[in-house]
Every structure is written in C-alpha cells, then in structure tokens.
C-alpha cells in the first residue's frame, strides 16, 4: 500500500466547506475486486473514489470505537436466540415463570458469542463459494 502526500502550497480558497485532501492512499486489487467495488459504488449512487473513501473511513471508525460488525452480529444473534426461545411457548398459550425467564437470559448470554461465530462462519463460507463460482 502506498501513501503519498501533496506538498504543494495549500491554497486559501474554500473547497466546498471541507478540509483540503492532500494525501493519496493506493493499493492493488484484482479485477474481480474492482468489479465488486464499482458495483457497490454505483448501487450507492456515488463516484468510485468517494465510495471507497467512505468505506475506508467507516471501517476505521468502527475499529477505533470497538463496535464492529462482529459485536453487532453477536447482539443480533442474541435477539434471535431470545425470540426463538420465548415466542414458541407464548404462541402455544403457555406462560413463562420468572425462573424460566432468568434461565433463558442466562442461556442467551452464555451462547450468543458462539452462535454469532457460527453465523459469521456460515456467511463467510457462502461468500467464498459465491466469489469462486
């Protein structure tokens, strides 16, 4: 990956209300990766360079805050586990005792990370299959 800076004198004219961008970041990608990125930027209605810049910044922000896709996926899977275990008895007209509810919550907290890893692994495997198909 290459990083280069523009050491030209900074002009005083305003650039659409934003700070002047004077650093270039470059990397090599495959033609297939370019197709995927171009399709994503087109679907989003933005220029390729702007889309890539936003994607890089979004990834950097989520890394720095510690709230990434894995954390969000874990919580989504936790909700799925909870709803699956709660809705079945409720739909059948059964009531859940406080002890059963507490046990359910312990079960969700204990199993949510493992279940999320499994879901992510399945998703990655499917994407790899699609990528090489």
Same domain, 46 and 12: yes
19 and 74 together in one domain:
no
Tell me the pLDDT band of 72, cut-offs 50, 70 and 90: confident
Name the more confident of 121 and 35. 35
In the prediction, which pLDDT does 103 show? 95
Q: Do 81 and 127 reside in the same domain of the chain?
A: yes
Residues 88, 52, single domain; the answer is no
Question: Is the same domain home to 82 and 31?
Answer: no
Whether residue 99 sits in one domain with residue 84: yes
Q: Are 47 and 86 in the same domain?
A: no
The region of weakest confidence among 10-14, 27-31, 56-60, 72-76 is: 10-14
Give the global pTM: 0.47
**Residue 13 domain boundaries:** 2-65
7-11, 15-19, 42-46, 110-114: which range is least confident on average? 7-11
> For the stretch 10-23, what's the b/e string if a residue is b when 16 or more beta carbons lie within 10 angstroms of its beta carbon?
eeeeeeeeeeeeee
Whether the per-residue pLDDT at 132 is higher than 90: the answer is no
What does the pLDDT average to over 13-35?
84
Say how far apart CA 21 and CA 113 lie, in whole Å.
Answer: 40
Domains held by the chain: number? 2
Q: What is the mean pLDDT of the chain?
A: 84
d(CA 44, CA 23): 24
């Amino acid at each position: 990956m290459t990083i280069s800076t523009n050491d030209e004198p900074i002009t005083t004219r305003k650039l659409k209300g934003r700070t002047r961008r004077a650093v270039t970041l470059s990397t090599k990608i495959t033609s297939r990766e370019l197709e995927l990125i171009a399709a994503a930027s087109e679907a989003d209605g933005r220029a390729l360079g702007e889309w890539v810049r936003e994607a890089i910044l979004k990834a950097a922000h989520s890394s720095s805050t510690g709230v990434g896709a894995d954390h969000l996926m874990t919580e989504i899977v936790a909700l799925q586990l909870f709803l699956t275990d709660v809705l079945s008895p409720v739909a059948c007209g059964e009531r859940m005792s406080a002890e059963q509810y507490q046990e359910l919550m312990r079960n969700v907290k204990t199993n949510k990370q493992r279940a999320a890893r499994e879901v992510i692994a399945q998703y990655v495997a499917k994407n790899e299959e699609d990528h090489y198909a």
